[in-house]
Amino acid sequence: MKALFRDILSLDDVWGIMLFSFEGETLVEEFLPGPVDEPQHSDFWPQIIGAIGRIREADLVFENSRVYLRRTELGYLFVLMGAFAQTALVRLNCDILAPSLKEIKGSKGLKRLFKKKG
């Protein structure tokens, strides 16, 4: 699964990726060891997803970090990153990733993501 997001996770100052369904269910979480702890599971994420509405793309800037938000075929992709991450490269890699997520939705659903190599 991490291979699907490898290009984004390999970018400088990217801390992790979270993919949520449109209902707020966590589909994927991948975090790199670094300056941020993994977010706690709570009712927070479904509330955020509900508040997003039909946003296609957003770059949220905080004091020492940023979150790039992207609507995909499966739900919302959050890329957590530091203040110095290159948003243009994150956006480009998300553009490249989008067709792969569309294939997953059209083929076997999310089961394909979690298929064990045998």
Q: What are the structure tokens assigned to 78, written together?
A: 């959050």
Total number of domains in the chain: 1
- What pTM did the predictor assign? 0.79
CATH code for position 79: 3.30.450.30
Residue labelled with tokens 């670094």: 34
Per-residue pLDDT of the chain (118 residues; tens, 9 = 90+): 567 888 999 999 999 999 988 888 888 888 888 666 656 656 677 777 778 878 899 998 988 899 999 998 888 999 999 999 999 999 999 999 888 887 776 655 555 555 544 4
In a domain, 81, yes or no: yes
In a domain, 74, yes or no: yes
In a domain, 117, yes or no: no
Quote the CA–CA distance of 113 and 53 in Å, as a whole number. 26
Domain region containing 84: 2-112
Q: What are the structure tokens assigned to 112, written together?
A: 């394909």
Quote the CA–CA distance of 57 and 69 in Å, as a whole number. 5
Our CA angle for 69, 41, 101, nearest 5°, is: 40
Q: What are the structure tokens assigned to 70, written together?
A: 């992207």
